[in-house]
Chain A
């Protein structure tokens, strides 16, 4: 690979011979790259020429003008307001945001599920261990598309429809003092309404968060410097709730909750998560969770047993051994595969099309493509968006990975 042929005296004085292009490692690389360049140019020209000819024959052209024209369809899950009179471009942005939302939610919950399942797979409890390996194997070995379809069906059929909440003696009722409703159209929950003076409450909230962090830092410094244990838990809880509630009461409740209520066909008011989002989120989280569980298990097993024993010898309890000694070390093994699982979630979220969740593939690669017939443009844009998202995730996760890496040498 890195061989360097030292020109040896008499030979090197000889003139350049043509066979050197192929036989001399100094020039051979150039020749190969030249041939590769030729091949690439030829391939590009071939593809481009065909594209031009085919488009001309079909009487089509490449144009992104459709992004500015009226979309004409509606989207149910809209992070930003969207009307059927808005443009296809805006629909694509809505889809992009929906993709990011479901990917983010699924990444977070898959990590939680994965860590719990991975730890429990190594639990001393036989039954729990078996259930967890059953979960992991059954989800890892069946295609995610089938899982999405099954889970979507389960959610639709197992949860009550809004109709069931109606009448004198309803078949279903809302949860937590009529504030949450779980239906097969989605989940409805109270939404905070910001009245005048809400700023103070928000400020108080931010201040108490800062206060909690300051307290923790203070406690740690006390522990490390003076060996004094400062209680953290209860003061933190108090700091979290008391100021906000006080300000809320003093200001005369500027922040109120808007509760969802059954009006007409649906629950109105409050915040709603669409059923398709929940189904996709849940399916991706539980599917990827099984993979993450395997990574976590491998990571934990990679931590030498001596670490656990040493921590045990120091008198730590099993829970603290896991969270303070084993998991932090396992993390270094877990993070790189975790990155690719996050990427997988993002890419698998494109299967939203199977449950009717309007993500990027549903808007730009779905309805927009169909209504405008701009297949080439839409698919190219679709791939570009996903590429940017993927590269973005790997970029940030790699920064995190480098920060967590063991600093050696």
Chain B
């Protein structure tokens, strides 16, 4: 049959025709241009305007780079070399490279320490950023802050190692009291810490009350306001003496009584140990170990830090400190306890309502008055405190968004399983809420990193401060603007753009529930 059919037809094509290329107007660059650039009158106009803008921009910028001078020791020499041409004096970057990156007071032979710290930072951050890396790397992440502190600030390695050891020991004590000792033993421990807490709390109250009466005494008696304030303070402090101190002892007794609840007693015990160890043990231990095995780097005071490194240090330190604080604030704001909730709300809203620059003014001109006269924190620490508070308030709001986005069923399910607040928060609520909040936290972190440039306004020589201060005011490089600001912008762009690209990638990764 088939044969006869074949014979009866003059020609049968046995192979398919090779695909013809689409018409020139429908494919290739021309079509791409048509659909993407000139798909209508309006679009064509837009394209032409855009082309014009791009060309003007390139024409303006190109000679500036093309004629740029990379080798000169001062602006005058650079201008001589340019000889009237338009061009950038990039020589300032070469000449002041170290200042721009590290500030001018950091010992140059220690630059490798900074570089190494930031390379290690990448390694330490990697397991946090990419979930598919081995979890064992998290040990290094935990170790990194202590190592970086030593690398950047120098001194003996045993200072930060002692701190690390104390933190680990605190964890062991928690486990010991919580799990490994029996009830009788725990009763004895509870008795001890109950007594300490009671006495401590009572003493704290006594100090507070005497401080209050001191303030009251100093307000003076002139004027009705002063008089009322005076009376109110006195009343408050007397109230404290007669009522709160017995309450402190009472609480101490209650802690003793609750020895059956291992969790609570062990937390208090661990905290107590930590406080005592930090106050009294760190110095002797590290000095002792250092005497036997000295491992030291040249110590660098924090005010010797500057340039882009200061931005990086401030950004990293403040963000990492503010995340735990932010979580606490967010949980506090969700709390059922009116006092705690109120404190958190006031704190968050206050910080979010004022510009960072005013908080830096506080760090700069006011904080010194709020601290004991003998202990004067240096500027960088005061700034770290204020920026941490600032970013904690914003991170708290992000996490609150994450907490609110959790379905109510999750809270109810945790309750119905009989988990207590700590367990529910740690095991059910926070892991999910934090996952939702990560992109938001990254956004806050990028914003905060950019905002670290504001410290230049309170005369710290970060990248911008370095440019506006020593470089632009130096005899050699007076009135250099575009090159240095452009360089600063580029540095920030590279870092922030990478982080925001990561954040977008992560958002796509985390979008597991829909699409």
Physical contact A–B (CB less than 8 Å): yes
Residues of A near any B CB (own CB < 8 A) = 1-3, 17-19, 21-23, 29, 31-38, 40-42, 44-57, 123-128, 131, 137-138, 140-147, 149-150, 153, 343, 347-348, 350-351, 353-354, 361, 365, 369, 375-376, 379, 382-383, 386-387, 390-391
Q: Which of B111-119, B205-213, B278-286, B318-326 lies at the interface?
A: B205-213
Q: Which of B62-70, B174-182, B448-456 lies at the interface?
A: B448-456
Please give me the residue from chain B that is nearest to A34 by CB atom.
Answer: B247
- The CA-CA distance from A36 to B208 in the complex, in Å, is 14
Given contacts A350-B355, A391-B353, contact A131 B215 (CB under 8 A): no
Please give me the residue from chain A that is nearest to B412 by CB atom.
Answer: A2
- The CA-CA distance from A351 to B450 in the complex, in Å, is 13
Please give me the residue from chain A that is nearest to B394 by CB atom.
Answer: A340
Task: Report yes or no: A21 in contact with B251, Cβ–Cβ below 8 A.
Answer: yes
Binary contact readout B364-390 vs A (1 if CB under 8 angstroms, 0 otherwise): 011011111100000000000000000
Given contacts A125-B37, A141-B497, A145-B454, contact A38 B415 (CB under 8 A): no
Please give me the residue from chain A that is nearest to B212 by CB atom.
Answer: A45
Given contacts A38-B201, A52-B218, A143-B450, contact A379 B257 (CB under 8 A): no
Those of B207-230 within 8 Å (CB) of chain A: 207-209, 211-212, 214-215, 218
- The CA-CA distance from A237 to B5 in the complex, in Å, is 79
Is the CB of B43 closer than 8 A to any CB of chain A? yes
Choose among A45, A141, A146, A350 the residue that contacts B358 (Cβ–Cβ < 8 A).
Answer: A350
Is the CB of B58 closer than 8 A to any CB of chain A? no
Shortest distance from the beta carbon of A20 to any chain B beta carbon, whole Å: 8
Choose among A31, A46, A138 the residue that contacts B211 (Cβ–Cβ < 8 A).
Answer: A46
Q: A38-B204, A54-B370, A146-B464 are in contact. List 8 more A-B contacts (CB 8 A).
A: A22-B257, A51-B369, A54-B368, A125-B46, A127-B37, A141-B450, A375-B366, A390-B353
B357 CB contacts on chain A under 8 angstroms = 350-351, 353, 361
B39 CB contacts on chain A under 8 angstroms = 124-125
Task: Report yes or no: A29 in contact with B337, Cβ–Cβ below 8 A.
Answer: yes
Shortest distance from the beta carbon of A185 to any chain B beta carbon, whole Å: 19
Please give me the residue from chain B that is nearest to A354 by CB atom.
Answer: B457
A153 CB contacts on chain B under 8 angstroms = 481-482, 485
B505 CB contacts on chain A under 8 angstroms = none
Task: Report yes or no: A125 in contact with B47, Cβ–Cβ below 8 A.
Answer: yes
A41 CB contacts on chain B under 8 angstroms = 205, 208, 212, 240
Is the CB of B511 closer than 8 A to any CB of chain A? no
Is the CB of B361 closer than 8 A to any CB of chain A? yes
Task: Report yes or no: B358 in contact with A57, Cβ–Cβ below 8 A.
Answer: no
Task: Report yes or no: A55 in contact with B369, Cβ–Cβ below 8 A.
Answer: yes
Given contacts A37-B339, A140-B496, A379-B362, contact A23 B355 (CB under 8 A): no
Please give me the residue from chain A that is nearest to B248 by CB atom.
Answer: A38
Given contacts A140-B500, A383-B358, contact A29 B257 (CB under 8 A): no
Choose among A22, A146, A387 the residue that contacts B264 (Cβ–Cβ < 8 A).
Answer: A22
A146 CB contacts on chain B under 8 angstroms = 453, 464, 485, 488-489, 492
- The CA-CA distance from A391 to B348 in the complex, in Å, is 12
- The CA-CA distance from A73 to B212 in the complex, in Å, is 40
B251 CB contacts on chain A under 8 angstroms = 21, 31, 34-35
Given contacts A23-B261, A32-B337, A128-B46, contact A361 B204 (CB under 8 A): no
Please give me the residue from chain B that is nearest to A361 by CB atom.
Answer: B357
- The CA-CA distance from A50 to B350 in the complex, in Å, is 22
A44 CB contacts on chain B under 8 angstroms = 208
Is the CB of B143 closer than 8 A to any CB of chain A? no
A31 CB contacts on chain B under 8 angstroms = 251, 254
Given contacts A35-B251, A45-B215, A153-B481, contact A382 B358 (CB under 8 A): yes
Task: Report yes or no: A40 in contact with B240, Cβ–Cβ below 8 A.
Answer: no
B352 CB contacts on chain A under 8 angstroms = 343, 390
Q: Which of B16-24, B49-57, B150-158 lies at the interface?
A: B49-57
Task: Report yes or no: B247 in contact with A2, Cβ–Cβ below 8 A.
Answer: no
- The CA-CA distance from A222 to B128 in the complex, in Å, is 62
- The CA-CA distance from A365 to B356 in the complex, in Å, is 13
Given contacts A18-B253, A46-B211, A142-B496, contact A40 B453 (CB under 8 A): no
Task: Report yes or no: B489 in contact with A150, Cβ–Cβ below 8 A.
Answer: yes
Listed residue (B207, B240, B357, B450) with the most chain A CB atoms within 10 angstroms of its CB: B357
Given contacts A37-B339, A126-B36, contact A3 B415 (CB under 8 A): yes
Interface of A is mostly: helix
B43 CB contacts on chain A under 8 angstroms = 123-125
Shortest distance from the beta carbon of A270 to any chain B beta carbon, whole Å: 31
Task: For the complex of A and B, list the 8 residue pairs with the smallest distance between their C-beta atoms, beginning with the closest.
Answer: A141-B496, A45-B211, A126-B36, A19-B257, A390-B353, A347-B355, A375-B365, A143-B450
- The CA-CA distance from A79 to B273 in the complex, in Å, is 61
| 5 A–B contacts, CB within 8 A, in A order | A21-B258, A38-B248, A51-B370, A131-B53, A153-B482
Given contacts A146-B453, A387-B350, contact A141 B47 (CB under 8 A): no
Given contacts A34-B251, A50-B370, A379-B366, contact A149 B354 (CB under 8 A): no
Task: Report yes or no: B336 in contact with A1, Cβ–Cβ below 8 A.
Answer: yes
Task: Report yes or no: A127 in contact with B464, Cβ–Cβ below 8 A.
Answer: no
Interface of B is mostly: helix
Shortest distance from the beta carbon of A321 to any chain B beta carbon, whole Å: 14
Choose among B37, B411, B485 the residue that contacts A126 (Cβ–Cβ < 8 A).
Answer: B37
Choose among B205, B370, B424 the residue that contacts A38 (Cβ–Cβ < 8 A).
Answer: B205
Task: Report yes or no: B496 in contact with A124, Cβ–Cβ below 8 A.
Answer: no
B37 CB contacts on chain A under 8 angstroms = 125-127
Choose among A126, A143, A387 the residue that contacts B453 (Cβ–Cβ < 8 A).
Answer: A143
Task: Report yes or no: A42 in contact with B446, Cβ–Cβ below 8 A.
Answer: no
Is the CB of B260 closer than 8 A to any CB of chain A? yes
Task: Report yes or no: B204 in contact with A347, Cβ–Cβ below 8 A.
Answer: no
Task: Report yes or no: A142 in contact with B240, Cβ–Cβ below 8 A.
Answer: no
A144 CB contacts on chain B under 8 angstroms = 450
Shortest distance from the beta carbon of B311 to any chain A beta carbon, whole Å: 9
Is the CB of B413 closer than 8 A to any CB of chain A? no
Those of B330-345 within 8 Å (CB) of chain A: 336-340, 343
Task: Report yes or no: B336 in contact with A2, Cβ–Cβ below 8 A.
Answer: yes
Please give me the residue from chain B that is nearest to A21 by CB atom.
Answer: B254
- The CA-CA distance from A34 to B371 in the complex, in Å, is 25
- The CA-CA distance from A3 to B419 in the complex, in Å, is 10
Given contacts A124-B43, A141-B500, contact A45 B208 (CB under 8 A): yes
Binary contact readout B228-263 vs A (1 if CB under 8 angstroms, 0 otherwise): 000000000000100010011011011101101100
Task: Report yes or no: A138 in contact with B493, Cβ–Cβ below 8 A.
Answer: yes
Task: Report yes or no: A383 in contact with B354, Cβ–Cβ below 8 A.
Answer: yes
Please give me the residue from chain B that is nearest to A35 by CB atom.
Answer: B251
Please give me the residue from chain A that is nearest to B349 by CB atom.
Answer: A391
Please give me the residue from chain B that is nearest to A29 by CB atom.
Answer: B337
Is the CB of B97 closer than 8 A to any CB of chain A? no
- The CA-CA distance from A149 to B481 in the complex, in Å, is 9
- The CA-CA distance from A219 to B125 in the complex, in Å, is 62
B424 CB contacts on chain A under 8 angstroms = 1
Is the CB of B421 closer than 8 A to any CB of chain A? yes
- The CA-CA distance from A33 to B240 in the complex, in Å, is 16
A17 CB contacts on chain B under 8 angstroms = 257
Task: Report yes or no: A1 in contact with B355, Cβ–Cβ below 8 A.
Answer: no
B500 CB contacts on chain A under 8 angstroms = 137, 140-141
Task: Report yes or no: B481 in contact with A56, Cβ–Cβ below 8 A.
Answer: no
Those of B454-468 within 8 Å (CB) of chain A: 454, 456-457, 464, 468
Please give me the residue from chain B that is nearest to A55 by CB atom.
Answer: B369
- The CA-CA distance from A354 to B255 in the complex, in Å, is 55
Task: Report yes or no: B453 in contact with A386, Cβ–Cβ below 8 A.
Answer: no
Choose among A19, A37, A142, A347 the residue that contacts B450 (Cβ–Cβ < 8 A).
Answer: A142
- The CA-CA distance from A365 to B362 in the complex, in Å, is 11
- The CA-CA distance from A361 to B496 in the complex, in Å, is 28
Listed residue (B36, B361, B482, B488) with the most chain A CB atoms within 10 angstroms of its CB: B361
Choose among B50, B350, B353, B371 the residue that contacts A127 (Cβ–Cβ < 8 A).
Answer: B50
- The CA-CA distance from A143 to B36 in the complex, in Å, is 33
- The CA-CA distance from A386 to B355 in the complex, in Å, is 7
Task: Report yes or no: A150 in contact with B485, Cβ–Cβ below 8 A.
Answer: yes
- The CA-CA distance from A153 to B247 in the complex, in Å, is 63
Shortest distance from the beta carbon of B390 to any chain A beta carbon, whole Å: 11
